[in-house]
Every structure is written in C-alpha cells, then in structure tokens.
Amino acid sequence: MAAFGITVPAGVPAIGATKTATLATDADRSGGTSGGDTLAYSVVVTNSGNQAATSVVLADSLDPLTRLVTGSVTTSQGTVTGDAAAGRPALRVELGTLAPGASATVSFRARVDATLPAGTSRISNQAVVSAAGLTPVTTDDPVTVQPGDPTTVAVTAVPRARLGIDLRGPARARARGAVTYCATVTNRSRIVARSVTIRVPLTAGIVIRTRPRGARVVSRRLVWTTPRLAPGARRNVCFTVRLIGRNGTVRRPRAFAQASNAPRVTDAVRTRLRARPGRIQPPVTG
C-alpha cells in the first residue's frame, strides 16, 4: 500500500496532513489579505496506513503577525486543549485515535495584526502532527507542488491615507478663564481614512470644561472618533478648557490625529496666561 508516494508495510499507520488558508474577513475591503483581516485555516489529518494511529496530536504555532481568534477552533474529533490562550500564537488539539483510512479536520481563524512591519509580503503557517511510535510530520500546502511546505498567504500592500491636523486657539488668555480651541483634521489623500481619532492630552494646568458631542475623556485625554473621512473631507472639533497658572505661564495644548490606515500627525499652540486683575483697595486716610 502507498501513502504520499511511499510504500507502507502491512500493519503500520502513516500520518499525513494538509493545511489550507482562505480570507474570511476583508476588513478594509482591499480584495487581498492586509492588516486587520481574518484568515480561516483548515487542517486535514489523514491516516493512510493500514493500522490505527494512536495518541494523534496537532500542534500549531501561528505566524507571529497573527493572533488566534477566541473560540474559533473546532475539530471533527478529539479535544481542543490549547485554545485557552486564545489571542496568543499557539494551539493544540488532541485527536486521539485515527483508524486506517480515517481523517480528522481542525479549523480555526487567525486575525492579522492591524499594523504590519514595512516590507511584510506574506503570512506563513505550518503545524506539526505527532502520533505514538511515529516520527512527527509537518503540514503541507496542497496548493503548491512542493511537498511538506508551509501554507503561505500573500499580503497586499494597501495604500495609506494621509491626514493633516490644525489646532487653533488664542495666543493669550486670562488664567482660570474659559478658553476655546478647535482642532481640524483633514484627509489629504485620495483614499478613505478609516477609524479616524483625535486625541488631546489634558496635561497639568489644562482642565476640560466643555467637550464636543460624541467626545469622551479617557485617561486624561479628550478622545473623539469618526468611522471614516472621505478624500479631501475635514472635521472640526472644538472644546473649551480652563487654563491654570500664574501670570506669564505658557500652556501648550496639543492635538493628535490618527486613522487605522494613516500614521499619526500632531499640532500644538502656545497660550500665554495673564493673571486676573486684582481688586484695587482705596487709600487709607487718617
């Protein structure tokens, strides 16, 4: 009897495994695999020998640029023992016994990191299958002609959006008085900017008084988001603060803008404080 081109003696199990990958979620609708997308993997483990294979175990260390999706591991038989660390790179499935000619299928999903290092061209993954008394084998990508090779997915280079931000406010303001600033974020590219966020750190001496609709304060940062910003579009976010300090103190409010497909940009203004005029005391005469 032959398995994967090898003649198998009578009474010997022969384990082999294939792994395929498909794009399950195209988060940015780019048509290819890119940062933030989700891949669906399927591993088929087969005993092509003429004796049962026992204590069959599938161990898989994901590509370091991907993370296991919680609860996504399924198996046609056996027990998932390594899914407790979902979100980490490894999984383990104890398949148990495979009868001669039997197969078991393990499926799972992995999410590609949202931000990939420059020059990333592929995601690669290969599992290892072991069984009692047998030499462990690695999975094969059935799409290629090379036997025993990892399953690779080409990564598409997605064009990046380009943002600009302009923070405006007064050069001088009265200490402890209400001061209004406006941050304008602009999409300066020809593609849609997605998940755009403006952040304004509320550093020492800057106390928020009013915030724009939809904004929230998180860890002493004023945060405002919008799901998309069309090419050439801009959004204006105004907020009012109270600046605390002595006469002549300079406060430097700063605003940051970032998108899931655009790098961070920043702008700042300088506001010098002047003290409130003191109450004039009438002269004392005697």
Helix (H, G, I), strand (E, B) or coil at 68: strand
Arithmetic mean of pLDDT over the chain: 88
pLDDT at 281: 47
Strand partners, 96: 56
pLDDT at 286: 43
Q: How many CB atoms lie within 10 A of CB 200?
A: 25
pLDDT at 280: 46
Closest CA to 274 of 241, 254, 240, 251: 251
- Does residue 40 surpass a pLDDT of 70? yes
Q: How many residues does the chain have?
A: 286
pLDDT in tens, 83-142: 645 555 578 999 999 999 999 999 999 999 877 887 889 999 999 999 999 999 999 999
pLDDT at 109: 95
**4: confidence class by pLDDT, cuts 50, 70, 90:** low
Q: What is the C-alpha separation between 52 and 100, in angstroms, rounded?
A: 5
Angle 145-146-151 (CA atoms, 0-180°, nearest 5)? 95
pLDDT at 160: 79
**275: confidence class by pLDDT, cuts 50, 70, 90:** confident
Tell me if 212 sits within 8 A of 198, measured CB to CB: no
* Residue predicted with more confidence, 286 or 219: 219
pLDDT in tens, 168-215: 999 999 999 999 999 999 999 888 898 999 999 999 999 999 988 899
- Does residue 37 surpass a pLDDT of 80? yes
pLDDT at 83: 65
pLDDT in tens, 221-256: 999 999 999 999 999 999 999 999 999 999 999 999
pLDDT in tens, 134-171: 999 999 999 999 989 999 999 987 677 899 999 999 99
pLDDT at 42: 97
pLDDT at 116: 81
- Does residue 1 surpass a pLDDT of 80? no
DSSP secondary structure letter of residue 278? P
When pLDDT is averaged across residues 26-46 and rounded to a whole number, the result is 89
Looking only at the bridges linking them, the beta strands covering 271-274 and 221-229 are unpaired
pLDDT in tens, 48-73: 999 999 999 999 999 999 999 988 99
Which residue segments constitute the domains of the chain, with CATH numbers given?
Answer: 10-154 (2.60.40.1530), 163-274 (2.60.40.10)
Count CA atoms closer than 13 A to 85's CA, side-chain side.
11
